[in-house]
Chains A and B, each alone.
Chain A
Amino acid sequence: MNRRDFSTLTGLGAGALLLPSLPGLGGSLPVDPARLLEPGLDVAQKKRLADAALNAAKSAGATYADVRIGRYLNQSVFTREKQVQNIASGESFGAGIRVIAQGTWGFAATNDVTDASLARTAQRAVAMAKANARIQKEPVQLAPQKGYGEVSWKTPIVRNAFEVPVKEKVDLLLATNAAAAANGASFMSSSLFQINEQKYFASTDGSYIDQDIHRIWPTFTATVVDRAAGKFKTRDALSAPMGLGYEYLTPRAADKIAGPAGTGLVGYKMSYDILEDAALAAQQAKQKMGAKSVTAGKYDLVLEPNHLGLTIHESVGHPLELDRVLGYEANYAGTSFATQEWKAKNIPYGSKQVTIVADKLQPGSLGAVGYDDEGVKTKEWTLIDQGKLVDYEKIRDQAHIVGQQASDGCCYADSWDAVQFQRMPNVSLQPGSQPLGVDELIKGVSKGIYIAGRGSYSIDPQRYNFQFGGQVFYAIENGKITEMLDDVAYQANTQEFWNSCAAVCDARDYRLFGSFFDGKGQPSQVSAVSHGSSTARFNAVNVINTARKIG
């Protein structure tokens, strides 16, 4: 058990007890919902405060400094069955100052945002850098970055979730619970998370960047209990956290894509039908209760985007983070098999079907921002080109290590009081170039399993061996879905798995999976990231049976 987070012990962290690390939620203070619509400091004030911090840092001996004045707003609505459990609105406001002095990073943060306090905090950051410089061996080398002057960026949302009355959100979640109950759920919990990061970045390079970033995540768990048998089964929502406003919860027919014949599943693109999914979830949880327990062995897997996204995240997104590759995360998240030496050998990462790009641009994605948290304009770049590893994910102080001149623009801090560092951009599998729908893809599979939704996930610290579960599993026999299966998990090796990729559906099937909780760093920080893909086939993957008996 972790006692590090005193805030969970103080009674301030009611929501945090449920979700210890929701970005912008951990450490935030409860506020009135109306507060979420009140403006923060105006840009001129923020510029004045930032200049006070930058000037103090320079006077104290910093050769570089940046300041992030952050106002992180959130609202979470939790319900179960017919009742509201909690409505929590939160605000976290403060400033973090990062400096380089004597070739060494220093960082300090405060929630007292005044000129005098920021100047003092800048001095603390410089003092920390100097204390550490005495034992420093590799001085920081920053890739050059031109200042952008005074610029701004906003997530292009249609409807700000904080403008939607709380009652409307509660009504939707209670209707979701009712839809599940009507379809056989014994219990149903549903929740809605909304995030707004109002971030102001300024650096001694001459950038003053004001950004307004929005995210939303509706989700639920439907549970069916058979008390006589002493068994229970769950099915989670097939929604994705998105970089969208409340418009995500207005379903549009054009955003729905039918799952394989015989499953009733629906894939959701830029909008989500929570009532439809809740009804299906309850039915599927009930079906799971009587589903056949899988026979372990080799199967061709057909993985849908809401499932495949997490596999991409763990087995491609993480091993290509350059800080992991170099050993900077060895003491926590781990290192990577995909070292520069490994890359030089030209061993195929995947089959020719596998092209994977990184970006911080995709509309609706969690990664989309105008500039990253060290003032670099965002972009798209290729990581794996037709199976061949071509590049990594990197920021300003890493570019020189791989002989590059510029950052990729994927630096992020989850709060004003956390230091920014390299985080995963959106990492997405490109759709197949030939027309191919899901039913056509399944037609070619003689013995396989179709898996939808994110389930259990685990991977080793160098990203070789992984194991994934899912939300629902269907047997495929001779080109057709035949019945539901249970107790399914697959174990594979990253390179074998991606080299077994035999086909990827076309762009019609492409959609985003997302996570609010990508964890990395010490102190640990979370980051929100999306992964796009179309349904894909992987041949002869090892499937295990996870059923056990306890006393």
Chain B
Amino acid sequence: MAILSQTEAQDILKKVIGYSTADECEATLSGTLEGNVRSARNSISTSGATDNVSLAVTSYFGKKQGTATCNQFDDATLKRCVQRAEEIARLAPDSPEHMPLLGPQQYLSSPQSFAQSTAAITPDYRARQMGASMDYCTSKKLTSAGFLNDRAGFVAKRNSKGLEAYQRLTNADFSVTVRTPDGTGSGYAATDYTDVKNFDAARLTAVAAGKASSSVGAKAIEPGKYTVILEPNALVSNSDASLLGALMRSFDARSADEGRSFLSKKGGGNRKGEKLFDERITVYSDPTNAEVPDLTFAGDGRPQQRTTWIEKGVVKNMYTSRYWAQKSGIPDLPPPGGFIMEGGTQSTADLIKGTQKGILVTRLWYIRPVDPQTLLYTGLTRDGTFYIENGAIKFPIKNFRFNESPVIMLNNVEAIGRPVRLAGNLVPPLKIRDFTFTSLSDAV
């Protein structure tokens, strides 16, 4: 039931719109099938599966709106749902920032956002992948904790002004932490796929295991400013805040215009068009990118298109609500799903080779805002931190707490590596000078 075809979904939505007596009506039908398995101590801990499909109908009378939902789709239920939405709308207060519904839209095609191989995952497949990951660690006398989650879903939209949208999506995430039995070494690896055909849990587990074994016997070095190589797991995450994620979530035009963002301009206005980062920094989003295919429409029906946010260090665009775009006469851009940071051709290993003195950071963790004015964030290194000298890893070091702003960090760029997919983004490893570590942590 959960994954309806475009025709099945739009047939239901056509009926819904047909039942409407409101000024305007929009309906969204969506469904997901999801499954997961989790391991710890080289054994399965929990697992689960959920299916969920539902319809939301929003009716508008002038500036009033009301929403009702249902999860059965016979004619009588659909009719009741539309009536309910209209009753709620009639009683609602006017919404001062109401915008009329969008008419028909042209959406890009992103067929690669759905992969049958991912939608077809079974409990046996999950057990096999997780079993291979655990077996690898057992054979190396290491301890692992891992998580595999896969999801297949669809979203269909239609409104009374002729807007029509449909897309299917799949996604699978796997992450694993490997520790030495005495708890003195720890390593981490994570990956995500739209199409799991190339997914190999054991291969990724070997990466985490290597980090765990080589991080044993960490030495303490003084906190301070260091040249660092930040691997992608130190830059984005789907399980924690992240430095680049935080930066990209701060590109809201309204906050900037209201004077409460790092993109606010002294004296009023915002900093669009200003060069705020190193000229090698370019960040864009593109829902049709083959490596990170994404939804080609936003929740409110606006098209998602290729959009450049930072070009050669210059702030090119900010995202906005439809209301704020109209009020301030700026491009009407929805926030993107994921982002792509341009990079070069060097791998992390190449970046290490080119480093005289520095620190390799596998992962940053528990990242929280300290000062929204400067986007200062704090957090810690985790699961493999190493000292680099003369182009090679010399020894593991104890973990640090950092206090750093991605805005400052992207002005201190030494080198940019080759982007890889992580958490639905494409992100390169970055070599950064003067990264600020403020204290040592005993954590492994």
Q: A residues engaging B (CB < 8 A)?
A: 1-4, 6-14, 17, 27, 29-32, 83-85, 87, 94, 104-112, 124-125, 127-129, 131-132, 134-138, 170, 186-187, 223, 225, 227-232, 234, 326-332, 334-335, 337, 339, 417-419, 421, 456-465, 467, 469, 487, 489, 491, 493, 522-524, 542, 544, 546-551
Closest beta carbon of chain B to A344's beta carbon, Å? 15
With A104-B44, A111-B51, A487-B371 known, 8 other A-B pairs at CB within 8 A are A9-B299, A138-B43, A170-B93, A331-B176, A456-B369, A522-B239, A523-B36, A548-B374
Residue of A105, A417, A458, A465 near B367 (CB, 8 A) is A458
B267 contacts which chain A residues (CB < 8 A)? 227-228, 230
Q: Are B46 and A12 in contact (CB under 8 A)?
A: no
State A10–B401 Cα separation when bound (angstroms): 37
Residue in A closest to B268 when the chains form the complex, CB atoms = A227
Closest beta carbon of chain A to B180's beta carbon, Å? 12
Residue of A29, A417, A460 near B50 (CB, 8 A) is A417
State A327–B40 Cα separation when bound (angstroms): 7
Q: Are B374 and A549 in contact (CB under 8 A)?
A: yes
Interface residue B248 (Cβ < 8 Å from any Cβ of A): yes
State A373–B374 Cα separation when bound (angstroms): 43
Residue of B127, B145, B259 near A131 (CB, 8 A) is B127
Interface residue B71 (Cβ < 8 Å from any Cβ of A): yes
Q: Are A1 and B248 in contact (CB under 8 A)?
A: yes
B236 contacts which chain A residues (CB < 8 A)? 1
- Mask of B272-283 contacts with A, CB within 8 angstroms, 1/0: 001010000000
Residue in B closest to A33 when the chains form the complex, CB atoms = B88
Interface residue B199 (Cβ < 8 Å from any Cβ of A): no
20 contacts between A and B (CB under 8 A): A3-B294, A6-B169, A29-B54, A30-B56, A30-B69, A32-B88, A94-B52, A105-B44, A107-B47, A131-B122, A131-B124, A132-B47, A134-B127, A225-B258, A227-B266, A230-B265, A232-B373, A326-B41, A330-B145, A548-B408
Known: A3-B238, A456-B378. A546 touches B46 (CB 8 A): no
Interface residue B173 (Cβ < 8 Å from any Cβ of A): yes
Q: Are B442 and A4 in contact (CB under 8 A)?
A: no
Closest beta carbon of chain A to B213's beta carbon, Å? 16
Residue of A32, A458, A550 near B375 (CB, 8 A) is A550
B37 contacts which chain A residues (CB < 8 A)? 132
A493 contacts which chain B residues (CB < 8 A)? 442
Interface residue B393 (Cβ < 8 Å from any Cβ of A): no
The 3 closest A-B pairs by CB, nearest first: A230-B266, A465-B441, A460-B443
B68 contacts which chain A residues (CB < 8 A)? 30-32
Known: A29-B54, A228-B267. A187 touches B36 (CB 8 A): no
Known: A419-B46, A456-B369, A523-B149. A11 touches B440 (CB 8 A): no
State A83–B98 Cα separation when bound (angstroms): 12
B188 contacts which chain A residues (CB < 8 A)? 331
State A518–B67 Cα separation when bound (angstroms): 30
A104 contacts which chain B residues (CB < 8 A)? 44
Residue in B closest to A548 when the chains form the complex, CB atoms = B374
A135 contacts which chain B residues (CB < 8 A)? 44, 127, 130-131, 134
Closest beta carbon of chain B to A461's beta carbon, Å? 6
Residue in A closest to B365 when the chains form the complex, CB atoms = A461
Residue in A closest to B249 when the chains form the complex, CB atoms = A1
State A469–B370 Cα separation when bound (angstroms): 7
State A491–B411 Cα separation when bound (angstroms): 27
State A271–B379 Cα separation when bound (angstroms): 34
Q: Are A109 and B124 in contact (CB under 8 A)?
A: no
Interface residue B146 (Cβ < 8 Å from any Cβ of A): yes
- Mask of B282-300 contacts with A, CB within 8 angstroms, 1/0: 0000000000001100111
Give the interface size bracket for B toward A.
Answer: 35 or more
State A546–B122 Cα separation when bound (angstroms): 49
Residue of B42, B258, B411 near A187 (CB, 8 A) is B258
Q: Which of A9, A29, A94, A230: most chain B CB closer than 10 A?
A: A9
Residue of A12, A17, A544, A550 near B374 (CB, 8 A) is A550
Q: Are A10 and B370 in contact (CB under 8 A)?
A: no
B91-133 residues at the A interface, CB under 8 angstroms: 92-93, 95-97, 122-124, 126-127, 130-131
A458 contacts which chain B residues (CB < 8 A)? 366-368, 378-380, 401
Interface residue B362 (Cβ < 8 Å from any Cβ of A): no
Known: A32-B68, A131-B123, A523-B36. A460 touches B145 (CB 8 A): no
Interface residue B376 (Cβ < 8 Å from any Cβ of A): yes
Q: Are B49 and A128 in contact (CB under 8 A)?
A: yes
Q: Are B423 and A2 in contact (CB under 8 A)?
A: yes
Q: Are A3 and B171 in contact (CB under 8 A)?
A: yes
Q: Are B405 and A225 in contact (CB under 8 A)?
A: no
State A524–B240 Cα separation when bound (angstroms): 10
B245 contacts which chain A residues (CB < 8 A)? 1
Q: Are B248 and A418 in contact (CB under 8 A)?
A: no
Q: Are A460 and B401 in contact (CB under 8 A)?
A: yes
Q: Are A132 and B403 in contact (CB under 8 A)?
A: no
Interface residue B337 (Cβ < 8 Å from any Cβ of A): yes
Q: Are B299 and A8 in contact (CB under 8 A)?
A: yes
State A526–B210 Cα separation when bound (angstroms): 32
Residue of B69, B93, B127 near A29 (CB, 8 A) is B69
A459 contacts which chain B residues (CB < 8 A)? 366
Interface residue B329 (Cβ < 8 Å from any Cβ of A): no
Q: Which of B8-16, B150-158, B225-233 contacts A (4 or more CB under 8 A)?
A: B150-158
Interface residue B396 (Cβ < 8 Å from any Cβ of A): no
Q: Are B423 and A1 in contact (CB under 8 A)?
A: yes
Closest beta carbon of chain A to B77's beta carbon, Å? 13
Q: Are B145 and A328 in contact (CB under 8 A)?
A: yes
Q: Are A524 and B123 in contact (CB under 8 A)?
A: no
B376 contacts which chain A residues (CB < 8 A)? 546, 548
Q: Are A464 and B378 in contact (CB under 8 A)?
A: no
Q: Which of A29, A337, A460, A549: most chain B CB closer than 10 A?
A: A460
State A4–B349 Cα separation when bound (angstroms): 30
A129 contacts which chain B residues (CB < 8 A)? 47
State A231–B264 Cα separation when bound (angstroms): 9
Q: Are A328 and B41 in contact (CB under 8 A)?
A: yes
Residue in B closest to A495 when the chains form the complex, CB atoms = B442
Q: Are B38 and A465 in contact (CB under 8 A)?
A: no
Known: A12-B54, A230-B264, A550-B375. A462 touches B43 (CB 8 A): no
Closest beta carbon of chain B to A68's beta carbon, Å? 13
Residue in A closest to B246 when the chains form the complex, CB atoms = A1
Q: Are B338 and A465 in contact (CB under 8 A)?
A: no
B294 contacts which chain A residues (CB < 8 A)? 3
Q: Are B424 and A2 in contact (CB under 8 A)?
A: yes
Residue of B123, B249, B299 near A128 (CB, 8 A) is B123
Q: Are A4 and B28 in contact (CB under 8 A)?
A: no
A132 contacts which chain B residues (CB < 8 A)? 37, 44, 47, 123, 127
Known: A135-B130, A458-B368, A550-B405. A522 touches B411 (CB 8 A): no
